[in-house]
Amino acid sequence: MVKALIITGFGINCEEEMAAAFSMAGAQIEILHLNEILLKGKSIHEYDILNFPGGFSFGDDISSGKVMANKIKYKKLSSGKTLLDEIILFLEAGKFVFGICNGFQILVKLGLLPNISGKFEQEVSLRNNDSHKFEDRWVNCIAENENQSPFLTEINTITLPVRHGEGKLIIKNEAIKNAILDQNLNCLTYSDDSGTATSEYPFNPNGSNLNCAGLTNPSRQVFGLMPHPEAFLSLYNHPNWGKIKRENPATDEQGAGLKFFKNIVDHISKQKSRNES
């Protein structure tokens, strides 16, 4: 069975929704406070996928995700390594890392995304929305099919909720921007109602460079996005579920957001089966 580790603590508050998503997708889940790893020696290597949920880690002081990223990057474990060192080993073992909203902000500030250089240095950031306010509503997104991320299998367009104040992707320089484009790492983009990628507000809720809603790294093992798929596990989470149901009574009552979790659990299950055979 696929084992999913979900990190909580210090203001993260979407861990139960993320756990529900992985459980519905067929994974065995465990929720751990970050200090269980940093101070008490719990190993991430017991798991197949490491997950950073949404929330407000350290109250978004300094900038969203920065303090949590610094703890992961600099706090020494009893082994003398840092948790970032262990995450690098985790990825080298072929495993996966997933971050949603504040989790995406943490991954960016750790240098796990997009990690063009392979040196785990910060290359992009997520900063204040162009609207200068917290955006809490639903948006349309397009998946980049050429990206071939296992998280995005059979996802073309999707509607998801956003809940963030710092979701604008800013890219360090043109070289990194071009590498993101060349390697199809900009895997999820905001779109208008016709399904066209757009920088226009309110369809793009933050003014993100490249209309970016989500990124992968070159190996496709790390995936982060600003919208909240774990908040759309049932059709009845959708604000227009009544209209959807009336217009198509046979519609699937499963929420579209669950697909991300089913995709990665299925991918890891197949990967484990191949390794065991």
Neighbours of 252 (CB within 10 A): 9
Task: Please confirm, yes or no, whether 230 is among the known catalytic residues.
Answer: yes
User: Which pLDDT does position 191 carry in this prediction?
Assistant: 98
Q: Is 46 a catalytic residue?
A: no
Which is catalytic among the residues 17, 212, 230, 238?
A: 230
- Those residues whose C-beta lies under 8 Å from the C-beta of residue 28, and which sit 6 or more positions away, are 1, 2, 3, 4
Which residue range(s) make up the domain with 156? 3-276
Per-residue pLDDT, 61: 83
Give the pLDDT score at 5.
Answer: 98
Q: β-pairing, 3-8 with 28-33? A: parallel
The structure's pTM equals: 0.96
Cα separation values, 186 from 46, 74, 222, 276, Å: 30, 28, 12, 33
Which residue in 101, 141, 187, 212 is the catalytic one? 101
| Average pLDDT, consecutive stretches of 10 residues, N- to C-terminus, the chain (277 residues) | 97 98 98 97 97 95 93 96 98 98 98 97 97 97 90 96 98 97 97 96 98 98 98 97 94 95 98 84
Closest CA to 227 of 115, 107, 135: 135
CATH number of the domain bearing residue 249: 3.40.50.880
Of the candidates 17, 166, 187, 228, the residue annotated as catalytic is 228
**113 neighbors 65 (Cβ within 8 angstroms):** no
Q: Is 228 one of the annotated active-site residues of the chain?
A: yes
Helices (H) then strands (E): counts for the chain: 8, 11
Q: Where do we find the tokens 């948790």? A: 83
Q: What local confidence, expressed as pLDDT, does residue 276 receive?
A: 79
Looking at the structure of the chain, the number of domains it has is: 1
The tokens describing 35, both together, are 């200090």
